[in-house]
Amino acid sequence: MILNVESAIVQRLTQKVADVHIATADQLSEVSERQQVTPALHVIYSGFSPTREIGQGTVQEIESRWTIVIAIRSARRGGTKEKADTLFDSVISAISGFKPTASHAALKLSGSPGAQHVPGFSYYPIQFVTKETVRGNP
């Protein structure tokens, strides 16, 4: 369920956004911040919330959150805000309305945390949500 959505998002970004490195949270866990490739798009599963239920929880709709973080080097290290802006537009165009699997609803923009700036890098998150109905087997 979750890995299928992650794979679909990565594949879609690979097809639709040029000249950028794409990484998942698992891949990022193996690289120090200073060694990361930029510009990059980091695809991160950001949790889920149940939204509806039927039959005392036997059938539930869940909303999963996916954050795509634009990572660029700071301007002093060759990165540019213009590149982040271009990637922001490209990500929204590629992912908004994209249906990651047959059982998931199309991805929609959601509220996102603000940008983070650390020495040498800037990170711009864009969050999307999708819904799926799951069935228990009591």
Beta bridge mates, 88: none
Give tens-digit pLDDT for 87-128.
999 999 999 999 999 999 999 999 999 999 888 889 999 999
User: CA dist 48 to 8, 21, 123, 129, Å?
Assistant: 17, 26, 22, 9
The residue among 126, 58, 138 whose CA lies nearest residue 98 is 126
Instruction: Note the pLDDT tens digit of each residue in 38-62.
Output: 899 999 999 999 888 877 778 889 9
All structural domains of the chain: 2-135 (3.30.2000.10)
DSSP string, 44-58: EEEEEEEEEEETTTT
Q: What pTM does this model have?
A: 0.88
Chain-centre distance of CA 38, in angstroms? 16
Percent of the chain with pLDDT over 90: 59
